[in-house]
Amino acid sequence: MIAALPTVFLPADAAPPVVADFSNDTWWIVLIKAVAIVVFLLVSVLFAIWFERKVVGRMQQRPGPNVHGPFGLLQSLADAMKLLVKEDMTVKAADKVVYIVAPMIAVFCSLLVFAVIPFGPMVSMFGVETPLQLTDFPVAVLYILACASVGVYGIVLGGWSSGSTYPLLGSVRSTAQVISYELSMGLSLVTVFIVAGSMSTSQIVDSQQRLWWFIPLIPAFAIYIVSMVGETNRLPFDLPEAEGELVSGYMTEYSSMKFAWFFLAEYINMLNVSAIATTLFLGGWRLPVPTTFLDGALNEGWWPILWFVAKLWIFMFFFVWVRGSVLRFRYDQFMKIGWKILIPAALATVVVVGVYQGVHQFTDVPLQKILIVTAAVILVGAVVWGFVPEKKPEPPKPKAPEVYDPYAGGYPVPPLPGQVLPPSPRKQRAAEVKATASVTAGPAPAGTDESDETGGVNGG
């Protein structure tokens, strides 16, 4: 597998990607890593809540939290304690078991993603040589996508089991949202698989020794950035919990710690997608410095954890920046972006990258010719698409107005558009008299006034 990895985007002197070696790990090393990941995520969530309030406060020209602890750092801890001691209410109409299990599903699936995220290279941990990663396998990125897909069941089941209208609408929106934006996200990651030759996270990081993948894959990187905001239900794509429409969406009927689980899952998912972007597009834990600089010490030992966390928080700042800058989309606009823009663009990117890799590997065609032909094909396709006449739908046939009884419900109701009131009894009697008179008198002779109900001559 490693020998067949394409090195089109890598320099000739770059070493081929290698798989992380976990053969020396003992059960207690694995336990230490797992506990460290959970602690890292929980502390990061507390810091992210404070960070978001501070940044949005500065953007809105206000101080943000500044009372509890230095710089307000203990505000998140105070909020967590408030949720712990808050009254826990359960809706009577809820499905009790699913109502309680749903937030646990959301949190559990969000905690699984970091199991395959590499924090750094091989280090010595209590005398054991081990990589700074819990585990890895050849389809690690597919495992990440599977965890994200299963996690939406927590949102869907939470909205359905609440026995209320607004949570149900929020959960249905979430289903459509995740299906739409996971497609574009998965397609954007396929381009990384093509150029890296692997779906193992450690191999993908090692394949970026000299060049981060976001440079040659800028379109795929941009698609992933937009998709990850929609995937995590964040503004401007927080339609499943739109407060102005659905009160609080799928979380409306939750309180106390059950609400805290959903809240925790949302922020952990933000960390997850940021870590994926860092690993697959920004070189993971690697710092872009020459290997001769300080003898490569900055990319060895425990230092890479610092570079990984710094890159991760760049994406977290992006989340907060977008929240404070962009208004919420309408739901039709949101779905149009996913299905009509992101998915076609991601498919086109996969095709272009795949064709480029195939042509460059199996032929001796220069890179310049490949790029010229690709640009020409895209240009011709755009021109042809522009001249294709748009098929307009046939105009709907006018419908006869519906006659309805305004007193059918026991009290008068005004007509809706497309409805007409029945004729009044007096007009109906007048029409019947007119029809009877016209039948009795026969057709009017020439020169008579047809409007005269007696059939007399004009002026007579």
Q: What is the enclosing helix (H) or strand (E) of 370?
A: helix 367-387
CB atoms within 10 A of CB 17: 22
217-226, 247-256, 377-386, 396-405 — most confident range: 217-226
pLDDT-based confidence at 456, cuts 50/70/90? very low
Task: Identify the pLDDT of residue 453.
Answer: 45
Half-sphere exposure of 170 (CA within 13 A, CB side): 29
In the chain, % of residues over pLDDT 90:
12
Is the pLDDT at 417 greater than 50, yes or no? yes
pLDDT-based confidence at 382, cuts 50/70/90? low
Tell me if the bond preceding 236 is cis, omega within 30° of 0.
yes
Report helix, strand or coil for 128.
strand
Task: Identify the pLDDT of residue 458.
Answer: 42
CA angle 389, 390, 392 (to 5 degrees): 130
374-378, 436-440, 445-449 — most confident range: 436-440
Is the pLDDT at 377 greater than 90, yes or no? no
How many Å apart are CA 99 and CA 261, to the nearest integer? 12
Is the pLDDT at 10 greater than 50, yes or no? no
Give the tokens for residue 119.
């924090």
How many Å apart are CA 229 and CA 334, to the nearest integer? 12
Task: Identify the pLDDT of residue 41.
Answer: 92
Task: Identify the pLDDT of residue 60.
Answer: 85
Task: Identify the pLDDT of residue 367.
Answer: 58
Per residue in 81-94, is it b (16+ CB within 10 Å) or e — as a string? eebeeeeeeebeeb
More confident residue, 176 or 360: 176
Report helix, strand or coil for 378.
helix
Structure confidence by residue, pLDDT tens digits, 183-222: 888 899 998 988 888 888 888 988 888 788 888 888 889 9
Task: Identify the pLDDT of residue 280.
Answer: 92
Beta strands in 266-405 (DSSP E): 402-403
Structure confidence by residue, pLDDT tens digits, 64-95: 888 888 888 888 888 888 888 887 777 887 78
How many Å apart are CA 21 and CA 451, to the nearest integer? 102
Is the pLDDT at 448 greater than 60, yes or no? no
How many Å apart are CA 296 and CA 209, to the nearest integer? 12
Is the pLDDT at 454 greater than 60, yes or no? no
Query: What are the CA-CA distances from residue 236 to residues 169, 193, 231, 322 (Å)?
Result: 18, 29, 11, 7
| Mean pLDDT value of segment 259-281 | 90
How many Å apart are CA 208 and CA 9, to the nearest integer? 9
Asked if residues 181 and 227 have their Cβ atoms less than 8 Å apart, the reply is yes
Asked if residues 437 and 455 have their Cβ atoms less than 8 Å apart, the reply is yes
Q: In this structure, what DSSP letter does residue 457 have?
A: B
Task: Identify the pLDDT of residue 246.
Answer: 67
- Burial of residue 216, with CB atoms counted within 10 A of its CB: 0-12 exposed, 13-18 middle, 19 or more buried: middle
Structure confidence by residue, pLDDT tens digits, 234-268: 878 777 766 666 677 777 888 888 888 888 888 99
Residue ranges of domains in the chain: 27-376
CB atoms within 10 A of CB 206: 25
Residue given tokens 């309030």 in the structure block: 53
Task: Identify the pLDDT of residue 375.
Answer: 66
More confident residue, 315 or 232: 315
Structure confidence by residue, pLDDT tens digits, 292-348: 555 556 777 888 889 899 999 999 999 999 888 888 788 788 888 888 888 888 888
| Mean pLDDT value of segment 17-25 | 70
